[in-house]
Amino acid sequence: MKKINLNKIAVLLVSLVVLTGCVEDDNFDVPSTIEGISEYPNTDAEFNTLSGVLGAFGSNGNEAYTYEAASETVSEKYTVGYVVSSDEGGNFYKQLVIQDAPENPTAAIVVQVDKNPLFTQYEFGRKVYVKLNGLTVGESNGVLQLGRLNGDQIDEIASTLVPNHIIRTSEVATIVPKEVSISQFSDALESQYIRLNNMQFNSNLVVGNTTTFASETNDSFDGERLLESCATGSSVILSTSTFSDFKGLPLPANRGSIDGVLTRDYFDDFYTIYINTPEAINFDNDLRCDPLFEDDFSAGNLDKWTPYNVTGTQEWYYNTFGNPDDSATMSGFSGGAQTNEDWLISLPIDLSNTPSAFLTFQTVKRYNGNDIEVFYATDYNGGDPTTDGTWVALSPTLDTNTGSWSSWTDSGSLDLSAAAGGNVFIAFKYTSTSSAAATWEIDNVKVSAE
């Protein structure tokens, strides 16, 4: 099915059309008989869990599934959820994100709605019933969504039909964010309201600089800002619409927790988080956890590294592709697989005042070939690494999906404590043969104190 980004299409429409009119009053009648599912909408209605709605897509061969219109022979079908998105701050547009429970949800989905604003009637935490008859569940931008099928796309529910399809109840629940780590991200968590703890924005954004959420000159549609875990060194992108009310606010420089909806980026390449309001960021710890060494290769070079060619004519090079941009890349393929041994060795990293430290990075592997090897040494003098330096092997987690450029894999936390008290060198060793030459990209390399 064709993948589209409805957030961005909606933004384009806003930029082309001057919207006028009054904000609708919060006058939608709350059904007085609602106390439980069995009493509403009616005794003959069929209830579907949100997990069941998502499952309808999967059981249909991952193709769009349309619920039949209600008739004498087809019962009315409903699902129920709690609203976890809000368009009050302008970061969501004509979308309701609902999950199946206010705490510890198991499923969530995006409902496309041709209505704005939504928060006046379907505010954060509001329990709603969604009438499924005539709606389609399908995939757009890698995220499952409900709406009206138009060709092979999921369109918004027409504003005149919204009262028929989305019925709010009298309950407004307290939403408890699901606490997860970046390594736990999966399709099963998409569209759920989550919390990441012990996070901070990348130092290049907030240390010595004042970077806004989404009003820099290179921001189009969304501002994408790198968030980092102080616990593991892994990272995720925070996306903010350039039409949001808080786009011009500066990013907070401290660290702490952040709550938001987990989703996918425009090209369905990586996970990203959308927040309803800046108040969803609770960075209350003044002590940052900036790395002792880091390189996301955004400088456009390998100046923090020494590439060393042992065998072959190919070498490590700077690449404009990465996670999200730029990386160090090595491939032994040139008109065919070539025999190579190439090292990428960091400049010395000072651990003299650090009792313990750890290394983290991310990798993507494409095509068949040897895995890279990762080492550290404390006595390297800049020569041939096969004879210079005592190299200690590390055991990172590496990408194994050789068919994708977007399967970025966290290395895990690799202990460097044995090197504390002086300088340490990090090395990535690449090898290929005349029959197999993989391509490896390395990004977001960090050495951090415990």
Question: What's the rounded mean pLDDT across residues 30-34?
Answer: 40
3-class SS letters over the chain = CCCCCHHHHHHHHHHHCCCCCCCCCCCCCCCCCCCCHHHCCCCCCEECCHHHHHHHHHHCCCCCEECCCCCCCCCCEEEEEEECCCCCCCCCCCEEEEECCCCCCCCEEEEEECCCCCCCCCCCCEEEEEECCCCEEEEECCEEEEEEEECCEEECECHHHHHHHEEEEEEECCCCCEECCHHHCCHHHCCCEEEEEEEEECHHHHCCCCCECCCCCCCECEEEEEEEECCCCCEEEEEEECCCCCCCCECCCCEEEEEEEEEECCCCCCEEEECCCHHHEEEEECCCCCCCEEECCCCCCCCCEEEEEEECCCCCEEEEECCCEEEEEEECECCCECCEEEEEEECCEECCCCCCEEEEEEEEEECCCCCCEEEEECCCCCCCCCCCCCCEECCCCCCCCCCCCCCCEECCCEECHHHCCCEEEEEEEEEECCCCCCEEEEEEEEEEEC
Joined together, the tokens standing for residue 376 give: 């550290």
Question: CA 313, CA 151: separation in Å to the nearest integer?
Answer: 51
| pLDDT above 50 (res 435) | yes
Q: Which CATH architecture has domain 6-172?
A: Beta Barrel (2.40)
| pLDDT above 50 (res 346) | yes
Question: What's the rounded mean pLDDT across residues 408-431?
Answer: 95
Residue 217 burial (CB count, 10 A): 5
What is the fold, at CATH topology level, of the domain defined by 293-449? Jelly Rolls (2.60.120)
| pLDDT above 70 (res 151) | yes
Prior bond to 278 cis, omega within 30?
Answer: no
Q: How confident is the model at residue 159 (pLDDT cuts 50, 70, 90)?
A: very high
From 351, 344, 343, 236, select the one nearest 293 (Cα to Cα).
351
Non-local CB neighbours of 344 within 8 Å, separated by 6+ positions: 302, 305, 306, 307, 308, 316, 328, 330, 427, 428, 430, 442
Provide the pLDDT for residue 24. Answer: 38
Provide the pLDDT for residue 40. Answer: 59
Whole-prediction pTM: 0.68
| pLDDT above 60 (res 288) | yes
Q: How confident is the model at residue 72 (pLDDT cuts 50, 70, 90)?
A: confident
Least confident piece of the model among 6-20, 142-156, 260-274, 334-348? 6-20
pLDDT in tens, 35-52: 444 445 665 788 899 999
Q: How confident is the model at residue 160 (pLDDT cuts 50, 70, 90)?
A: very high
Q: How confident is the model at residue 96 (pLDDT cuts 50, 70, 90)?
A: very high
Question: What's the rounded mean pLDDT across residues 57-68?
Answer: 92
Name which residue leads in pLDDT, 7 or 120.
120
Domain 178-285: CATH class, spelled out: mainly beta
Residue 320 burial (CB count, 10 A): 10
Please determine whether the domains at 6-172 and 178-285 fall in the same fold group of CATH.
yes
Domain ranges, ordered by start, for the chain: 6-172, 178-285, 293-449
Joined together, the tokens standing for residue 206 give: 């907030």
Provide the pLDDT for residue 16. Answer: 36
| pLDDT above 90 (res 27) | no
Provide the pLDDT for residue 447. Answer: 93
Question: What's the rounded mean pLDDT across residues 412-439?
Answer: 96
